[in-house]
Amino acid sequence: MSVHLRPEEIEAESFRIIEEELGPHNWNAQQWPLVRRAIHTSADFDYARSMVITDRAVAGAIEALKAGLGVVTDTTMIISGMNKERLNRFGAQLSCFVADPQVAKEAKEQGVTRSILAMRKAARDAANGIFVIGNAPTALFELIRLIREEGVRPKLIVGLPVGFVGAAESKDALRELAQEYPELQFVTNIGRKGGSNVAAAVMNAILIQAVGTEPAN
């Protein structure tokens, strides 16, 4: 019975089932591990069709990690879900300001989401290279504004907010932004789905590729 597989066999068997059931697809060798892990963490094959990954998304992320740049997230769940051992090999600083007391205070005063102010705070630090958004559409809208109006230039955006109010629209806006900034690298999807679990899975798939190019030192 399947539960008697060893832990490392469970993941391999999961990937085999995903590939068997999905059949042929057009994702390339850098992209497919991200899509496969998004499906793996959600058991939702929609991601095979709905994800959008720019050509140099994985390469941009690996450059950012090797340059020692930090990773910003919009939820602590993403931080919990990312593989710390792999992140630590690059010494990547992890930040999430959504629970920061100053952010909470200002958000209340201004009547905006904490996610907006958390993104603004993170973007002030030029050492932040990768922005991972798995929950709040307002965080992604704010990051888009910071890129357009304040010259913020992430090396990679993982833009996978979820929900019924603004999530799909924020991801549409991200893809539209790419028309203006063709060098922009991102991993996103079309539609309402997403989440911290999927965002963390995408980052873990990137980290596995990053570690492959950079042996532990």
Q: Is 25 a catalytic residue?
A: no
- Interface with a copy of itself (CB under 8 A), residue from 30, 178, 190, 191: 191
DSSP per-residue letters across 133-175: ESS-HHHHHHHHHHHHHH----SEEEE---SSSSHHHHHHHHH
C-alpha to C-alpha distance for 20 and 58, rounded to whole angstroms: 25
**Pick 128 or 197: Cβ nearer a copy of itself:** 197
> Is residue 62 a contact residue for a copy of itself (CB under 8 A)?
no
Stretch that binds a copy of itself, among 24-32, 62-70, 164-172, 175-183 (CB under 8 A): 164-172
Q: How far is the CB of 130 from a copy of itself (least distance, A)?
A: 19
**Closest distance of CB 50 from a copy of itself, Å:** 11
Can you list the positions of beta strands (E) in the chain? Answer: 51-53, 70-73, 94-95, 128-133, 156-159, 186-189
Residue from 31, 33, 38, 40 in contact with a copy of itself (CB under 8 A): 40
Burial 78-115 (b: 16+ CB within 10 A, else e): bbebbeeebbebbebebbbbbebeebeebbeeeeebbb
Rounded CA-CA distance 88/83 in Å is 9
Q: Which of 31, 50, 75, 185 binds a copy of itself (CB under 8 A)?
A: 75
Q: Active-site residue among 40, 114, 120, 155? A: 40
User: What are the catalytic residues?
Assistant: 40
The binding site for a copy of itself (CB under 8 A) comprises 2-3, 5-7, 10, 13-14, 17-18, 40-44, 75-77, 79-81, 107, 111-114, 137-138, 141, 162-167, 169-170, 191-197, 200
